[in-house]
């Protein structure tokens, strides 16, 4: 078969991800698609995968993607005639200590929140299901009966056949060597067998995806790591339908295979492969067996399954797989090139993800928009710092090493820090700040009082920062606090048509007079919330846009890519040009008035306005906004003046009791006030009406904007889900998110955020209440609510208004 000279879409890579993407592009979209594989299909990482297929993740959308894989693998043979080896064996996860058990209780609740029936079993029940297992050290196990295992090569061949049946053209032995680019877009794929003109490219090149990306100037931050498992001879008494096992406290996993066991693990001292280019001739190749390194898994596995001591090892597999700095895979359109899509970095769950990842990626390629909330895997969660290969390696190895460690709430990574610091870093450190990191920035999470170690001590219950964070919270409510939020992403849009461009991109009316600022969502074509940010009008032709630290690449790309053609509007990232100090609390005005000659009275400087004011010889952009529900200003300071302005505020604020406050108190404060967090409370899956943010949508104005049509189409129909707040009186309960919401004893949703409100003295959660027949105020208010927290029911009260309203200083019960 000769290569075509043109294809609408070229998929690079014939592993499970490329084949699944090609299959879905052909089947669902009838796309003109060509797949190019440099060797034979499956010859990269896919052929040597162990084949365990788990489904539960902490994100509802990713769980949905993985559940889709299972559905696909079940039925694929009937369509293509090629078996996938799918076996629904179920999966046992073993717990040997109390923290792990709490983790599983929360996990089982999450599973039920996502519609999966995960059970918790006693050691005796585990023994009955898996008689060869030693269960003396177990507290119990979680049991997900719908998990299973499959044959990675067979699935991939079956997907490839399906893709061909639906019209895709697959070519082996064709290597992509470069791209012809025009205006930042790919116009042709160059190969060792000729060029193919195309409209879109999907980079599914596995561990080669980074270097294939470089050919188009894009960054795919992944790191190949050596991963090993063994396959044993037949073990007497091992059932062919034995459940797969994950034994995280012993860092190992097991799967039955032709009467023997596959056993592998995630060691704390993983071995990176190259940070350079991966060789092109790595077809069906493995590394040499490394029994010395594997010994740590063997020792643990024998304790769990003593029969392993006597059985022979048929084969050891030591193969490379690409891992990423946060353990999630990488999907979506590259920020640097509008027509290169990526599906790579699968962190040893590419077989489990393959079917679903191909499904959503194909849809993304065709629509140019993610079909559901895929933020946790979106390539735009990374930034320029992820071009540093050594940093990516170190952080990735840390993430790999933590694959099976207990996932404590609020846990921070340690490697590659500090990476980016604000000018106040040393001052805040001197004030006993305990830092966390977000997109490379060190940010104060809390401040340890004298006598308390400046260190997070993680716990499944209340942590060592609970008391100090409560004090910081109370301080902001009663006096005044200062937050270093210099890591905020900041952009400027300039040009004669800047107002028109933003009017189209933003759901709220941002085309206001100079000096006004607007809180707004940016919507996708389904009316889902793609971003949540503040837009300040500095001049007729100049806007200042502020968004969350982690959303820097994503929001910038979203705005830039949606400026209508032909408009004079240029977007620039000015993040590093400004430090941001948020002065919040009832005493904020007194402090500000003491450092500036500007009139900061409410009449002269009302809420929702931006002014340039002088502080400590610097011209500061002061934005009158709040995320804590108190009087306050965000002060955007020329970066070089940040320390001087901070010092001036601290000195002038001293009589008013000013103190620095960290991000954990900020979270507690915003929970009380009911401000939504993008990525958890509001996502591309949710419309502003569902989120209770309809007031921030300019439907009454006669201008078109992105998402308007979808919102109008839905208007009038009852909302099937609505965002609501909940409080739990029982102070011993700990909310972490994803707890199930019960109304009249029936599940109606799950928490998207959870935490503790110090002023309220109660646990606070938020989430969507769902009802197929519509969610009216009456429906919401009339129910009796409970939350399922770590498998236990606890009574909860619903709140449709902010729980704390500082305008009348009244705490609403």
Ligand X SMILES: Cc1cc2nc3c(=O)[nH]c(=O)nc-3n(C[C@H](O)[C@H](O)[C@H](O)COP(=O)(O)OP(=O)(O)OC[C@H]3O[C@@H](n4cnc5c(N)ncnc54)[C@H](O)[C@@H]3O)c2cc1C
- Residues at the interface with ligand X (CB under 6 A): 12-18, 36-39, 43-46, 48-52, 175-176, 204-208, 212, 227, 229, 317, 319, 321, 344, 346, 348-352
Per-residue CA distances from 610 to 386, 599, 622 (Å) = 33, 13, 6
From the CB of 358, what's the least distance to ligand X, in Å? 9
User: Whose structure tokens read 């769990």?
Assistant: 304
From the CB of 432, what's the least distance to ligand X, in Å? 43
Q: Which is nearer to ligand X, 212 or 788 (CB)?
A: 212
Distance (Å, rounded) from C-alpha 340 to C-alpha 220? 11
Q: Which is nearer to ligand X, 51 or 653 (CB)?
A: 51
| 3-state secondary structure labels for all residues of 537-580 | EEECCEEEEEECHHHHHHHHHHHHHCCCCCCCCEEEECHHHEEE
Q: Which is nearer to ligand X, 153 or 685 (CB)?
A: 153
Residues ≥6 apart with Cβ < 8 Å to 743: 769, 783, 784, 785
Distance (Å, rounded) from C-alpha 786 to C-alpha 788? 7
DSSP 168-229: -EEESS--EEEEEEETTEEEEEEETTEEEEEEEEEE--GGGHHHHHHTTT-----EEEEEEE
From the CB of 229, what's the least distance to ligand X, in Å? 5
Q: Which is nearer to ligand X, 31 or 204 (CB)?
A: 204
From the CB of 21, what's the least distance to ligand X, in Å? 9
Token pair, residue 452, equals 């308390």
Q: Is 62 exposed, middle or buried (0-12, 13-18, 19+ CB in 10 A)?
A: buried
From the CB of 711, what's the least distance to ligand X, in Å? 37
| Biggest alpha carbon–alpha carbon distance for the chain | 85
Q: Which is nearer to ligand X, 357 or 439 (CB)?
A: 357
From the CB of 378, what's the least distance to ligand X, in Å? 17
Residues ≥6 apart with Cβ < 8 Å to 131: 237
Q: Is the peptide bond before 418 cis (omega within 30 degrees of 0)?
A: yes
Q: Which is nearer to ligand X, 320 or 707 (CB)?
A: 320
The per-type count for the chain, helices as H runs and strands as E runs, is 18, 40
From the CB of 420, what's the least distance to ligand X, in Å? 30
Distance (Å, rounded) from C-alpha 377 to C-alpha 554? 12
Alpha helix locations (H) across 695-803? 708-714, 777-782
Q: Which is nearer to ligand X, 48 or 609 (CB)?
A: 48
Q: Which is nearer to ligand X, 353 or 575 (CB)?
A: 353
Q: How many CA atoms lie within 13 A of 386 on its CB side?
A: 22
| 12, β-bridge pairs | 36, 203
From the CB of 215, what's the least distance to ligand X, in Å? 8
Q: Which is nearer to ligand X, 345 or 737 (CB)?
A: 345
From the CB of 384, what's the least distance to ligand X, in Å? 24
Distance (Å, rounded) from C-alpha 242 to C-alpha 130? 7
Q: Which is nearer to ligand X, 397 or 682 (CB)?
A: 397
SS3 410: coil
From the CB of 56, what's the least distance to ligand X, in Å? 13
Q: Which is nearer to ligand X, 196 or 697 (CB)?
A: 196
From the CB of 407, what's the least distance to ligand X, in Å? 19
């Amino acid at each position: 078969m000769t290569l075509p000279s043109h294809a609408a879409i070229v998929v690079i890579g014939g592993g499970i991800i490329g084949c699944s993407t090609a299959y879905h592009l052909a089947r669902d979209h009838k796309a003109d698609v060509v797949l190019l594989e440099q060797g034979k299909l499956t010859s990269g990482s896919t052929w040597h995968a162990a084949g365990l297929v788990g489904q539960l993740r902490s994100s509802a959308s990713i769980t949905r993607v993985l559940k889709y894989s299972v559905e696909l693998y079940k039925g694929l043979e009937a369509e293509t005639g090629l078996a996938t080896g799918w076996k629904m064996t179920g999966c046992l996860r073993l717990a040997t200590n109390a923290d792990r058990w709490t983790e599983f209780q929360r996990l089982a609740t999450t599973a039920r929140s996502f519609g999966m029936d995960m059970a918790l079993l006693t050691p005796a029940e585990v023994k009955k299901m898996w008689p060869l297992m030693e269960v003396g050290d177990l507290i119990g196990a979680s049991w997900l009966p719908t998990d299973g295992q499959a044959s990675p090569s067979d699935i991939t061949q079956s997907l490839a056949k399906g893709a061909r049946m639906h019209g895709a053209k697959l070519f082996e032995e064709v290597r992509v060597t470069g791209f012809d680019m025009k205006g930042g877009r790919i116009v042709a794929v160059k190969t060792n067998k000729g060029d193919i003109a195309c409209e879109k490219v999907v980079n599914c090149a596995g561990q080669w995806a980074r270097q294939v990306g470089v050919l188009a100037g894009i960054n795919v931050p992944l790191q190949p790591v050596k991963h090993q498992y063994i396959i044993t001879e037949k073990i007497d008494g091992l059932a062919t339908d034995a459940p797969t096992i994950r034994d995280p406290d012993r860092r190992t996993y097991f799967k039955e295979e032709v009467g023997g066991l596959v056993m592998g693990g995630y060691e704390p001292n993983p071995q990176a492969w190259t940070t350079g280019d991966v060789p092109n001739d790595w077809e069906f190749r493995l590394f040499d067996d490394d029994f010395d390194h594997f010994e740590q898994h063997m020792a643990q596995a024998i304790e769990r399954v003593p029969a392993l001591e006597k059985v022979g090892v048929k084969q050891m597999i030591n193969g490379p797989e690409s891992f990423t700095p946060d353990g999630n895979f990488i999907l979506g359109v590259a920020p640097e090139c509008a027509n290169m899509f990526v599906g790579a970095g699968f962190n040893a769950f590419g077989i489990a993800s393959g079917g679903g990842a191909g499904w959503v990626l194909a849809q993304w390629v065709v629509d140019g928009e993610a079909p559901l909330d895929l933020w946790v895997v979106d390539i735009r969660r990374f930034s320029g710092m992820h071009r540093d290969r050594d940093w990516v390696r170190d952080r990735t190895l840390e993430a790999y090493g933590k694959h099976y460690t207990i996932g404590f709430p609020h846990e921070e990574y340690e490697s590659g820090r500090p990476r980016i610091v604000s000018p106040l870093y040393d001052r805040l450190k001197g004030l006993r700040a305990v830092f966390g990191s977000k997109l490379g920035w060190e940010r104060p999470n809390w401040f340890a009082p004298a006598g308390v170690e400046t260190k997070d001590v993680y716990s499944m219950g209340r942590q060592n920062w609970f008391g100090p964070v409560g004090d910081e919270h109370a301080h902001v409510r009663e006096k005044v606090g200062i937050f270093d939020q210099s890591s905020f992403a900041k952009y400027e849009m300039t040009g004669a048509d800047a107002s028109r461009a933003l009017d189209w991109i933003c759901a709220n009316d941002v085309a206001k007079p100079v000096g006004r600022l607007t809180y707004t969502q940016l919507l996708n074509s389904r009316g889902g919330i793609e971003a949540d940010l503040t837009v300040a009008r500095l001049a007729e032709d100049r806007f200042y846009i502020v968004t969350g630290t982690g959303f820097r690449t994503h929001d910038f790309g979203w705005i830039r890519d949606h400026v209508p053609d032909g408009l004079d509007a240029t977007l620039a990232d000015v993040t590093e040009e400004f430090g941001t100090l948020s002065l919040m609390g009832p005493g904020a005005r007194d402090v500000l008035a003491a450092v500036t000659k500007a009139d900061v009275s409410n009449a002269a400087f009302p809420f929702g306005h931006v002014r340039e004011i002088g502080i400590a010889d610097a011209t500061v952009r002061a934005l009158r906004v709040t995320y804590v529900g108190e009087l306050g200003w965000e002060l955007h300071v020329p970066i070089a003046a940040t320390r001087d302005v901070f010092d001036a505020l601290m000195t002038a604020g001293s009589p008013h009791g000013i103190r620095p406050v960290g991000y954990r108190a900020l979270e507690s404060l915003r929970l009380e006030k009911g401000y939504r967090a993008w990525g958890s409370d509001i996502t591309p899956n949710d419309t502003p009406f569902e989120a209770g943010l309809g007031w921030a949508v300019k439907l009454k104005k006669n201008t078109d904007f992105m998402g308007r049509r979808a919102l109008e189409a839905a208007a009038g129909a009852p909302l099937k889900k609505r965002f609501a707040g909940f409080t739990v009186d029982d102070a011993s309960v700990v909310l972490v998110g994803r707890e199930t919401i019960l109304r009249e004893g029936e599940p109606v949703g799950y928490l998207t955020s959870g935490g503790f409100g110090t002023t309220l003295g109660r646990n606070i959660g938020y989430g969507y209440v769902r009802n197929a027949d519509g969610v009216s105020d009456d429906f919401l208010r009339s129910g009796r609510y409970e939350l399922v927290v770590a498998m236990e029911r606890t009574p909860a009260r619903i709140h449709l208004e902010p729980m704390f309203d500082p305008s009348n200083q009244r705490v609403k019960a």
